[in-house]
């Protein structure tokens, strides 16, 4: 029995992520052990991960540092795939962005200028 046209049309994949991802588009620097920082673009972020576009492949499992717009993130490369002449890399963060936001609030409260008497 032949397949109907509607059966051949691709259906969107079921979203399996536990957290929402937010689109982003800003520059960053990606550093791996014993390497110079590489220019990258942040493509999207979630509380526990970030996806970057980089010019060269990065070893899966590599521990990395990401410097992006006043954020310093550490994590591990979970995937790397070639797309449109560059590479898309997924990074599982060592600390969630929610924890970092809480730490930033704490820092701000600790370093507030005291009011004069």
Q: Where are the domains of the chain?
A: 22-110
What's the pLDDT score for residue 7?
Answer: 42
Instruction: Give the global pTM.
Output: 0.71
Read off φ and ψ for residue 10, nearest 5 degrees.
-65, 135
Q: What is the CA radius of gyration of the chain?
A: 19
What's the pLDDT score for residue 9?
Answer: 43
Q: Which residue has the tokens 């590479």?
A: 87
Read off φ and ψ for residue 59, nearest 5 degrees.
-60, 125
Question: Which CATH architecture describes the domain 22-110?
Answer: Beta Barrel (2.40)
Listed in sequence order, the residues at least 6 apart from 86 whose beta carbon sits closer than 8 Å to its beta carbon are 53, 54, 55
Q: What angle do CA 101, 103, 105 make, to 5 degrees?
A: 70
What's the pLDDT score for residue 19?
Answer: 75
What's the pLDDT score for residue 4?
Answer: 46
The low-confidence residues of the chain, meaning pLDDT below 70, are: 1-17, 98-100, 102-117
What's the pLDDT score for residue 24?
Answer: 86
Q: Which residue has the tokens 């079921």?
A: 14
């Amino acid at each position: 029995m032949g397949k109907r046209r509607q059966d051949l049309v691709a259906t969107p994949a079921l979203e399996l992520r536990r957290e929402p991802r937010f689109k982003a588009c800003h520059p960053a620097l990606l550093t791996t052990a014993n390497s110079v920082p590489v220019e990258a673009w942040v493509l999207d972020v979630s509380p526990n991960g970030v996806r970057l576009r980089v010019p060269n492949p990065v070893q899966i499992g590599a521990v990395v540092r990401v410097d992006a717009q006043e954020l310093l993130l550490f994590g591990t490369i979970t995937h790397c795939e070639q797309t449109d002449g560059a590479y898309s890399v997924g990074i599982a963060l060592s600390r969630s962005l929610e924890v970092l936001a809480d730490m930033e609030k704490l820092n701000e409260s600790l370093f507030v200028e005291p009011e004069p008497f």
